[in-house]
Structure formats: structure tokens, C-alpha cells
Amino acid sequence: MVFTLFTLYSNKVWAQENLEGKVTKILEEKEVEIMGSKQPFQRLEILITKGSLKDQKLIIENGNLPLANVVKYKTNDRVNINREQGLDGNDIFDITDFIRRDSLLLLFIIFVVVTIVVGKWRGFSSVVSLTLTFLVIFYFILPQISQGTSPILITIIGSIIIIPITFYVSHGFNKKTTVAVVSTLFGMVFIGVMSTLFIGLSKLTGLSSEEAGMLLSLKNGDFNMQGILLAGIMIGALGVLDDITISQASIVEQLREALPVASISEIYKRASKIGQDHITSVVNTLILVYAGASMPLLLMFVDNPHPFSEIINYEFIAEEIVRTLVGSVGLILTVPLTTLIACLSFQKNNEKNK
């Protein structure tokens, strides 16, 4: 993945063209020894389907470089091909990756259809909300950060844009949504403050991944990598905050309707008990999401000769611990806050209706 990203960025400088092609024939397939280790080798015939060499056939060797994991291709596989000019002036062609657009598009269509069929109007509004979030992230937050603007400032502004627009589109213009919007903004403040504090206390640089190091080198060190780490933590928590604040506000609304004469403290206690169950499930969900995305990382804890205290001190592991725990603390603190704001809000509404 890192090689592919590097190719995409560096194409602007030294690569002439990205081509697309289809493997039409495997001319040779064997095992070769490179730098003392054996790896698969293929000589492939590829028909170019997109680019200046469209409809031409190329012979490309795969597995002729020392790599940790050589991908083996099959007939009819669609692939990306990098074309660059060598020192001798001749073109050099390398397969960089599979073409996955069709399968990703199919999965997205299935997601949209299922969401709309099951969720009906709410499902449709959630798809619209998702689209708006995508647009804000990819057409405002990321370009602004790429231009050197403070990642923290841009993430805060982006969140202020995303939260009200997506919440009201998804859940409608009502008091419940307003409570969730206000609570989510406070939750983002909690998470932002705690992230800043513990990124500093843990001495995290934001350079623990290869992608981060590559990005910094390509931008000549202009990026605030700690700020990007903080922005990532805040954006990652935003989606879960949506769920937890809307749920708590809805719980209080329903309790108030069912118990119109109950006091604020009684409604708060009842909603808090439900919120405690919600906290448990959300924190578990958050932990499992990070665990699922970090399986290779977690496998380092298994049968490792280094002590546990040394392993968790590695920055790339400490970064994930801070990301997970800060997000969890922020979510936990948001539950009682949302419950309190909702209780006060719906109590006022109840008094007006009397």
C-alpha cells in the first residue's frame, strides 16, 4: 500500500503515466531465488485497456524484485501499471496493484439499496448525510490541511459544519436533534482537550506509520503531524458521538412523554441507567473497531520475547492506545452531559404544554 501511495504522489514528479490493463496470458510461472530467498516469478502478457498505449500488448515481469510479499496474478485480472522512463531512455513498466473499482462500486450500491429499503426515509436521509460528510472531509478538511493550514483549526471548523448539517438532515429539525448537536459539540471539545493533553504527555510525534513519514518527506516537513494525529482522533470519534447523543436525547424524550409528571431528577436517573448500558456497548464497539483495524499490530503482543511494558511503549502502539482511550473517555463523559441537557430541554417543553 505504501508503495502504491508513493507511486501516486511521485507520478507528479518522475512517472510518465499510469496505465490500466488486463492479464491475457501467463507466459511463464516459476520460483526464483533473489537475495537468498525464494519467491514466485511470473512473465505476463497484458492488454492495455486505458492510457496512451490502449489496445497494445505488453510483456511484464512480476516478482523480479526482492519483496516481502509478491502478489501472483491470474488470467483476466485487471491491474494498474506504472510507466516511467529509465536512465537509458527506455520505458519501464511495473504492475502496482489490482483494479478494485467495480467491486467497490457494487458494494456501495448494495449498501445504499439496503439502507434505503430498510430505513426508508431515514435511510435515504442518512445516505445524504454520509455524502455531505464525505464532501466536507474531501473538499474542505483534507485540502486545507494539505495546503498547510492548522489541522486542529480546520478539523474544528469542519466539525462545526458537519455536525449540524448531517444531524438535521439525518434526524430532522426538532428539539431532540438540537440537543444532540449541542452535546456532540461539547463532546468534541472534551476529546480535543484530552487528545492534546495526552499526545503531549505521551510525547507522540504522529510519525509512527510509514504513510505519515512518507507524507512528511513528500511535503518537505511542512505538515504538523501531531496536529494531524489529533484531527484523526476527533474525526474518528465524531461518528460514534452522533449515535450516542441522538440515542440519549431520544431516550429522555420518550421517558418524558411516558412520564409527564415525573421530576427532572427521576427522568435523569432512568435515562442514566439506560445510558450506562449504552456506554458499555459503545465502548466495546469502539475497542472492537480499533482491534479489527489493527490485527497485525495486536499480534505483536502474542509470543513476543519483549516484556509487555516495553511493547506498549512503542510509539505506534502508544498512539493506538491514546486514540482508543481518549475516544472512549470522551464518549463516556458525553452520555451524562447529553442526558442532563435533554432533561432540562424536554422539561421546559413539558411545562409549556401544561
The domains of the chain, with CATH numbers, are: 2-99 (2.40.50), 120-353 (1.20.1640)
What are the φ and ψ backbone dihedral angles of 80, each rounded to 5 degrees?
-90, 140
**3-state class percentages of the chain: helix first, strand second, coil last, to nearest 5:** 65, 15, 20
* Length of the chain as a residue count: 354
Residue carrying the nine cell digits 478494485 = 100
For the beta carbon of residue 190, count every other beta carbon within 10 angstroms: 19
Tens-digit pLDDT profile for residues 224-235: 788 888 888 888
What are the φ and ψ backbone dihedral angles of 89, each rounded to 5 degrees?
90, -10
Cell output for 259: 412520564
Tens-digit pLDDT profile for residues 246-301: 999 999 999 999 888 888 999 999 999 988 887 888 777 777 777 777 777 777 77
55: exposed, middle or buried (Cβ count in 10 Å: 0-12, 13-18, 19+)? exposed
Averaged pLDDT for residues 5-11: 46
- The confidence score (pLDDT) of residue 105 equals 94
Distance CA 219, CA 103 (A): 32
* Sheet containing 37-50: order of strands: 57-62, 37-50, 15-34, 78-85, 91-98
Amino acid at 1: M
Contact 40, 26 (CB under 8 A): no
Distance CA 214, CA 54 (A): 32
Estimate to the nearest angstrom the gap between the alpha carbon of 74 and the chain centroid: 31
Cell output for 335: 452520555
pTM of the entire predicted model: 0.74
Cell output for 273: 441507567
Contact 271, 202 (CB under 8 A): no
Cell output for 120: 426508508
Q: What percent of the chain has pLDDT over 70?
A: 91
Tens-digit pLDDT profile for residues 79-130: 999 888 877 778 888 888 899 999 999 999 999 999 999 988 888 988 998 8
